[in-house]
Amino acid sequence: MWMLASELEVGDWAIAEDLSEWIEIVAVAVIAVSVVIAFAIGIRTFGRGGAAAGVEAVKQQISRGLLLGLDLLIAADVIRTVTLEPTLENVTALGVLVVVRTFLAWSLIVELEGRWPWAAWTEATSASPQHDRDADSSVASDRPAS
């Protein structure tokens, strides 16, 4: 009944196909649920902060759900391509899908956070303790000695 991984051949990974399909279903569910939650949050925010705040809350929540859904879809595609049919054509198609989904994810992060995905790393680096010490010493040197 059970086969060792060394006995399996490409295309015999039925569990991988089922797993990738389930991950896709979860991804679609995550996106759908995030849209429903987004509108509930948007309506609540609209009542408290007005239309602009409500729309912004909806955009924020939908973007988060889409980012998670895209990550799950990429994972399902990788599982399917690597285990079922690792042909050059399928790997190329996977590469194109990953590039397109990565571009969509970057666009969502820019929309969601107002910065490029790598900008957080740059900001975190500039806020390091060494940077703060340098800033403190420059402020201190600008003050007249008493």
Confidence of residue 6 (pLDDT cuts 50, 70, 90): low
Q: Where are the domains of the chain?
A: 13-140
DSSP result, 3-62: --GGG--TT--HHHHHHHHHHHHHHHHHHHHHHHHHHHHHHHHHHHH-HHHHHHHHHHHH
Task: Name residues whose C-beta falls within 8 Å of residue 67's C-beta, 6 or more positions apart in sequence.
Answer: 105, 108, 109, 112
- pLDDT per position as a tens digit, 84-137: 777 888 888 888 888 888 888 888 888 777 777 777 666 555 655 554 444 444
Predicted TM-score (pTM) of this structure: 0.64
> What letter does residue 118 receive in the DSSP assignment?
T
Q: What kind and span of H or E run contains 143?
A: none
- pLDDT per position as a tens digit, 20-38: 899 999 999 999 999 999 9
At residue 110's C-alpha, the angle toward residues 24 and 46, to 5°, is 85
Residue that wins the pLDDT comparison between 82 and 44: 44
Tokens 């599982």, located at residue? 79
